[in-house]
Chain A
Amino acid sequence: MLFRRIVLCALLVGALAGLLVSAVQHWQAIPLIAAAEVFEGSADPAEPTLAATAHDHDHDHAGGDAHAHDAETWAPEDGGERHVWTAIANVLTAIGFGLVLVAAITTWEHLRGGPLASAGTGLVWGAAGWICVFGLPTLGLPPELPGSVAAPLGDRQGWWLLAATSGAAGLALLAFVRGPLRLAGIAVLLLPFAVGAPHLAGGPFAGYDIGIARQMEALAGSFAFATTIATAVQWLALGALSGLAVARWVRPALAELAPTP
């Protein structure tokens, strides 16, 4: 019963937030990706200058350009089909985050034993989610445009996961623990930065002509701004809707499950 309510709420919340953020991205972040893809691949002749990391880079590049060059693998057609898949992927991502948020808000309300979930408190949960999933990982790994070169994918994914999970653990310690142990939350928050994010020497646009590199840098700046706005919209919408959904549809199931004495 409770599981079904949580899943249904997350599906609804995720569909709404995912479609909303797809619309926002459609006019700000997606055009920047299209603009960067014009330059993607034009750095090939200069690749040998990255000899120190040649192996990783080659590997990375082959994987990255798969959507453009690998005839074997399916990829959506540019235009409508690609936009539809982006929206589907956004909705799925939002449903995934929504499941975690709704479950967390439900646990919080249940353990505190009062009607705490609401759109307002949900905004605070959403802001915390944004810090964990966008804020902290982005401090170490800035938003990437297609065509930028970076450390091997596995290293970056590992560091991203470390930043997001230690962000969640650190914020939870700071918010819910009383006493001196709470301050350990700060150490947990800083742990990924002590480890250090993986980076290549030479920056993301090494290997491009200087003129193109300048343009890519300008695009990357706009892209960082655009993704900050879009992810903030997504997480605040996710949070507010999750809070509302818990208050409306999960709370009755909680009351049934363990009636307050």
Chain B
Amino acid sequence: MQQQATLHIARPKSALLAIAMPVLTAALLGVVIVYGVGFSPIAAAHNAAHDARHVNVFPCH
């Protein structure tokens, strides 16, 4: 019953602000890494990740 109750506590709007910075920074870092490996036009990056780009079905060549 207690568990149920805590599940439905709506956090105030400030709850999102409290974690917005770390969460957004982490997600952005993830997007930058995926872009670097899968989409970067730098030739050496393309060559190193060539097979990984194909098997992860990123557009390649």
Contact = CB atoms under 8 A, between A and B. Distances in A.
B26 A64 contact: no
Interface stretch (A43-51, A87-95, A176-184, A188-196): A87-95
A144 B16 CA distance: 40
Given A33-B51, A258-B11, A160 B30 contact: no
Given A6-B22, A146-B54, A66 B33 contact: no
Contacts of B33: 92-93, 95-96, 99
Contacts of B29: 7, 96, 99
B16 to A, nearest CB: 6
B52 A89 contact: yes
Given A33-B51, A73-B47, A257-B18, A3 B26 contact: yes
A67 interface: yes
Interface string B23-61: 111110111111011110001101111111111111111
Contact of A67 (B32, B46, B56): B46
Contact of B34 (A76, A93, A111, A112): A93
B9 interface: yes
Interface residues of B, number: 46
B10 interface: yes
Nearest to B45: A89
A99 B51 contact: no
Contacts of B59: 141, 144, 150, 153, 156-157, 160
B61 A96 contact: no
B61 A113 contact: no
A93 B51 CA distance: 12
B19 A110 contact: yes
A23 to B, nearest CB: 12
B30 A86 contact: no
Given A100-B31, A112-B7, A257 B46 contact: no
A144 B30 contact: no
Given A74-B44, A146-B61, A258-B15, A103 B23 contact: yes
A86 B52 contact: yes
Contact of B26 (A25, A73, A90, A102): A102
A115 B30 CA distance: 24
Given A74-B44, A99-B33, A153-B61, A10 B26 contact: yes
Interface of B: 3, 6-11, 15-16, 18-19, 21-27, 29-34, 36-39, 43-44, 46-61
